[in-house]
Structures are given as C-alpha cells and as structure tokens.
C-alpha cells in the first residue's frame, strides 16, 4: 500500500487522489467538529476521542508498520506539543461560541496561514487566480465575523473571545498542517508516521479530561461519552489521515485550502443536527469561504 502511494507522488494520478482525499477530509472534519461541539463538554469529548485513538492505534503501531527512524521521534514530540495547543484552543473556542460561529473562522483562517508557511518551507507558489481564491475565502471569513458581531446579540458577551480563540486556533491549524506535512515526508513509510502520530498526540487529553470529569458535579455518564469518543476516533482516522496523505502526494497549500470546503458541510450539520439558527446570509458567507477554496484548486 505504501509503495503504491509513494509511486503516485508528483503524478497526475497523485494529484487527483490528493484532491479526493482533501475533499474527504473536509467532510469528515466538519463531522469531527460537530462531535466535539455536541451536548458534552468539548474537553471531555476530545479526551474520549483521544482515549480511543490511543487504544485502537497502539497495537497497529507496534505490530503492523515499521518502527520509526531515530530522527522521527523528535518530530513526533513536536507534533505532540503543537496538537496539544491546537486541541486546547479548539476546546476553549467551542466553550465560548456556537459551532457555526467558531468552525468557519477556524477552518477559514487556517489555509491562509498555511499558504504562507508552505511558500516559505516547501517553496510552493500560488498564481494570481489562486490568490484571488484566497481573497474570496478571506472575504467570507471576515464577512461572517462582522455579521456575527452585529446580529448575534444574545451571544455578544462571549462572541469576541470566541472569535479571537477561533483565529488563534486557525493559526495552529496552519502550523500543524505544515508541520505534519513535513513529518510525513520525513519517513520512508507514511503509515509509520500516521500510526505513531495518532499514538503520541493522544497521550495528553485523556488525562486532562479525566481530571475535568472527576471535578464535575454531577459527573457525566461514561457510556454515551465513550460512544461519542469511539465514533470521533474513527472519524479522526479519516479526517487527519486523509489530509496528511494528501499533503504527501501533492501541494500542501492546495490541499489545505480545498479542505476548507468543510464550511459548507458545517453549515448543514449545524442546522440539521445541532439545531443552530444559521439563516441564508450566514450560509451564503460560508459558501463564499468554500468558493474561495475551489478557485484556488482549479486556478492551479
């Protein structure tokens, strides 16, 4: 499997597969965000997800893939620190604001920072059409933020902190996307990095969530939380795994931007499953974010 993937790097088939993987990651990441924002405390949900990731992935890492090369361990240690900061900011943002407020800003600012980082680190370049796409994407983000500040009166006390945390989380998305692309390119077998990535980056939040669960009165029931965590872990494999493989096969910036079509899925999930009021104007702005991502892809 890994040999077949490696043979596609830099080819048209590899580009098409990276496109499909980025779109899959877009849908699954919207689902993942909704799972974390659902009826449970976001910190507890993330802890449950990471607990299952650790339990499910450790046997695969030990038995099914080659061991990491010595130089890969420090890279995995860096991934632990970066993803911990990302998860903490994400949980805090979801604690302050509605899913349809926080998620589009997080996912929209992420690719803007990623494009800049990829140009510096991987020497990738965007043409004029692609930069137009980035501008359309950013217009959707800022338009959505301004609309929320004007119209979400009942949430105004927490709106500014939520938006600030969302932008900071978007910056961490760019950092981890670029860093993970570097990590998965630094090993001969991409599945070695993926397996050990899920193990290492799942060590922190189970401990935090357990302490938080013990401090709550009444304590949430374990069974529904564990079920949500299991579903989230399966979704995480598809979401994070797909985007990392896409960045191994093709342009990091394009994959990161295309993934942000997830804002469209987020709008649908927010209305249908989380019962959040979105309205046609906010939906239009979310679609504008996704349109910017599409322009970037097809302008390349």
Average pLDDT in the 44-50 region?
92
Q: What is the pLDDT of residue 69?
A: 94
Q: Would you say residue 277 has pLDDT above 80? A: no
Determine which helix (DSSP H) or strand (DSSP E) holds 162, and give its type and residue range: helix 156-185
Average pLDDT in the 184-194 region?
91
Q: What are the residue ranges of helices labelled H in 125-155?
A: 128-151
Q: Please count the other Cβ atoms lying within 10 Å of the Cβ belonging to residue 218.
A: 5
Residues of the chain above pLDDT 90, percent: 26
Q: How confident is the model at residue 85 (pLDDT cuts 50, 70, 90)?
A: very high
Helix axes 42-63, 12-37, angle to 10 degrees: 140
Higher-confidence residue: 116 or 173? 173
The alpha carbon dihedral of 285, 94, 259, 226 has a sign of: negative
DSSP assignment, residue 194?
H
Q: What is the pLDDT of residue 78?
A: 96
- Examine residue 218 and say whether the peptide bond preceding it is cis (omega within 30 degrees of 0): yes
Q: Are 96 and 158 in contact (CB under 8 A)?
A: yes
Average pLDDT in the 159-183 region?
85
Highest mean pLDDT: which of 145-149, 215-219, 254-258, 275-279?
215-219
Cα 230 from chain centre: 18
Average pLDDT in the 36-53 region?
84
Q: What is the pLDDT of residue 77?
A: 96
Q: Would you say residue 292 has pLDDT above 60? A: yes
Q: Please count the other Cβ atoms lying within 10 Å of the Cβ belonging to residue 139.
A: 16
Q: What is the pLDDT of residue 55?
A: 96
Average pLDDT in the 263-269 region?
72
Q: How confident is the model at residue 37 (pLDDT cuts 50, 70, 90)?
A: low
Give the whole-angstrom CA distance, residue 208 versus residue 93. 17
Q: Would you say residue 62 has pLDDT above 60? A: yes
Q: Please name which of 38, 111, 87, 30 lies closest in space to residue 201, comparing C-alpha atoms.
A: 87
Q: Would you say residue 282 has pLDDT above 90? A: no
Of 23-37, 91-105, 175-189, 258-272, the one with minimum mean pLDDT is 258-272
pLDDT digits (tens, 9 = 90+) for 134-165: 888 778 877 876 776 677 555 556 777 878 88
Give the whole-angstrom CA distance, residue 226 versus residue 45. 8
Q: Are 225 and 99 in contact (CB under 8 A)?
A: no
Give the whole-angstrom CA distance, residue 64 versus residue 62. 6
Highest mean pLDDT: which of 7-11, 26-30, 94-98, 171-175?
171-175
């Amino acid at each position: 499997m890994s040999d077949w993937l490696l043979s596609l790097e830099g080819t048209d088939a590899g580009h098409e597969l990276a496109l499909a993987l980025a779109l899959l990651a877009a849908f699954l990441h919207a689902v993942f965000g909704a799972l974390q924002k659902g009826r449970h405390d976001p910190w507890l949900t993330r802890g449950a997800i990471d607990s299952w990731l650790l339990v499910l992935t450790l046997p695969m890492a030990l038995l099914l893939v080659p061991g990491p090369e010595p130089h890969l361990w420090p890279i995995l240690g860096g991934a632990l620190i970066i993803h911990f900061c990302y998860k903490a900011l994400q949980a805090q943002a979801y604690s302050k604001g509605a899913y349809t407020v926080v998620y589009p800003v997080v996912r929209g600012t992420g690719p803007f920072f990623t494009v800049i980082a990829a140009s510096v680190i991987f020497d990738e370049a965007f043409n004029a059409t692609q930069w137009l796409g980035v501008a359309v994407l950013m217009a959707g983000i800022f338009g959505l933020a301004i609309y929320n500040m004007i119209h979400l009166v009942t949430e105004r006390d927490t709106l500014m902190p939520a938006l600030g945390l969302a932008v900071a989380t978007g910056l961490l998305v760019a950092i981890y996307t670029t860093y993970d692309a570097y990590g998965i390119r630094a090993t001969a077998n991409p599945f070695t990095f993926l397996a050990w990535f899920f193990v290492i980056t799942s060590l922190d939040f189970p401990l935090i969530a357990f302490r938080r669960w013990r401090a709550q009165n009444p304590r949430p029931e374990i069974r529904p939380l564990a079920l949500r965590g299991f579903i989230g872990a399966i979704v995480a494999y598809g979401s994070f795994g797909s985007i990392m493989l896409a960045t191994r096969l093709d342009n990091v910036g394009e994959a990161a931007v295309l993934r942000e079509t997830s804002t469209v899925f987020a709008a649908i999930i927010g209305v249908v499953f989380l019962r959040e009021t979105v309205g046609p104007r906010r939906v239009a702005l979310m679609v504008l974010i996704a349109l910017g991502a599409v322009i970037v892809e097809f302008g390349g």
